[in-house]
Copies of this chain bind each other. A is one copy, B any other.
Amino acid sequence: MAVSIDKERAIHKAAIQVISEYGFHKAKMAKIAEVAGVSAGSLYTYYSDKDHILDRIFEMLWKKDWAGLVPLSERKDLSPQEKLEGAIDLVFDVLTGDRNLIIVFVNEFNNFMKNKEVSFSLYYHEFLGAFSAIIEEGQATGVFNPHIPANVTCDFILGGIRKSLYGQVMGTLAVDGAALRTHIKAMIRRGVLV
């Protein structure tokens, strides 16, 4: 019998759940296996080691972001402003609906990237590049503030979204996902001033 896609998915899902609850370093392989309904040994049929599991989680995430954003950024039929809104929608779409994934992403991503070879580098950097390109296009066409470096804008927007989403799933922000998305778009467009 070949390796089972179902089993791999079960492990993937279980890992997101367990890591979101305990954090990566306190998430035990045995617990992930238990939640996935497989034996501890079976994890190693599908993943080479613990890092590999988290690597795949982020790879899927960035692959989706990348697959959505790169073509979007290159479209000729949309204004920079429409592209930016689309980019924001994309980030929300990829994360919304999986509370555990948000938690894993917010809590583990930076640390995981820091001293490691990761498989999703390309997706990640191309996503960031496409996001910057949208800002730069807007600056070039005179609709976005030209005085703020594009990658500062990117980081600020993405950091703001990340923390807001985290606040929402942790229950410290009493808004639903749709409302949050609207508020954040407004914020990004116009800032706090009326």
- Please report A residues at the B interface, Cβ cutoff 8 Å: 22-23, 25, 81, 84, 106-108, 110-111, 114-115, 135, 138, 142-149, 151-153, 155-164, 166-167, 172-175, 180, 183-184, 186-194
A44: shortest Cβ distance to chain B, in Å? 13
- Interface residue SS majority, chain A: helix
Q: Contacts A155-B167, A158-B163, A173-B155: A190 and B190 contacting too (C-beta < 8 A)?
A: yes
In the complex, chain B residues whose CB is within 8 Å of the CB of A184: 152, 156
Instruction: Choose from B84, B158, B183 the contact partner of A148 (Cβ within 8 Å).
Output: B183
- 10 A-B pairs (CB sep. < 8 Å): A144-B192, A144-B194, A147-B183, A148-B186, A148-B187, A149-B174, A152-B173, A152-B180, A152-B187, A153-B192
- Which of B164, B173, B189 makes the CB contact (< 8 A) with A191? B189
